[in-house]
Amino acid sequence: MTPTTIARPSTTTALLRGFLRKCPRCGNGALFDGYLKRADACPHCAESFIGVDADDGPAWLTIGVVAHIIVPLLIFLETRATLSYGAEAALVLSATIVSTLLLLPLCKGFFIAAVWSLSKKTD
């Protein structure tokens, strides 16, 4: 597929598209080939993502967001003292795993879009 002429989106639009795991350029193609595997190019507009790597940014952002969800939950559970420690641990561990697995691809898409957007500003 040959690249088509598509106007470069604003940084905000590109970041939102990345967060939604879509191509930051066109917003139609998938940014990932799997759960976290970045596509080499957009299947819709053929924008190349080779060299656009998120590195450790998504993990950092995911940990920060998950901590802001889990710590208040843990404080709430401890102040109520209605569950046993084992039940609290199971609940907090489950919430941590689920929220991490849900947020990680979104954060990775956001970071890939940010790196893509920054690289396009220098072109």
Name residue 102's beta-bridge partners: none
Q: In the chain, pLDDT over 90 holds for what percent of residues? A: 69
Can you tell me whether residue 30 is helix, strand or coil? strand
Per-residue pLDDT tens digits for 53-112 = 888 999 999 999 999 999 999 999 989 888 898 999 999 999 999 999 999 999 999 999
Q: How many residues does the chain have?
A: 123
pLDDT of 2 over the 50 cut = no
What does the pLDDT read at residue 94?
Answer: 96
Q: Tell me the backbone φ, ψ of residue 37, rounded to 5 degrees.
A: -85, 115
pLDDT of 123 over the 60 cut = no
What does the pLDDT read at residue 121?
Answer: 66
Position 44, amino acid: H
Q: Judge if pTM exceeds 0.75.
A: yes
What is the arithmetic mean of pLDDT over 28-45?
92
